[in-house]
Amino acid sequence: MESPLLIKSKEFALDIIKICNTVKKEKKETVLTNQLIRSGTSIGANIREAFYAHSKADFIAKLQIALKECSESEYWIELLIDGGYYENREILNKCIELKKILVSSINTAKKNSI
């Protein structure tokens, strides 16, 4: 069974790709969308790496990188929305949910490594 974190992060990445491609096509915006594609797809990649970590510390470090990428994605999404390039706030809510899951996972992993 796949981890809900792996599933959600992959779904998020696919949503980000679709949204960015739409914004690029319809609004001719590439600076924000290129940044968002990088950070939004990196979240899942780092989570996947975490599941093959060499140690508990490596696992936590990879999840922390995913959290940083998630926070960065949240920023780019906010700029797209506030800048008038994209209106649907659902992707922002998904990003915030993913961030909360990552924070919880990191805290649990830290508690279990003591």
CATH classification of the domain holding 42: 1.20.1440.60
pLDDT tier, 26 (very low <50, low <70, confident <90, very high otherwise):
very high
Of 51, 32, 95, 107, give the one whose Cα is nearest residue 69.
95
pLDDT at res. 113: 79
Residue 92, pLDDT > 90, answer: yes
Say whether pTM exceeds 0.75: yes
The domain containing residue 87 runs over which residues? 4-112
* Tally of structural domains, the chain: 1
CA nearest neighbour of 75 among 95, 102, 51: 95
Residues 19, 92: Cα–Cα separation, whole Å: 12
34, 35, 42: which is closest to 13 by C-alpha?
Answer: 42
Taking residues 45-70, report their average pLDDT: 97
Residue count of the chain: 114
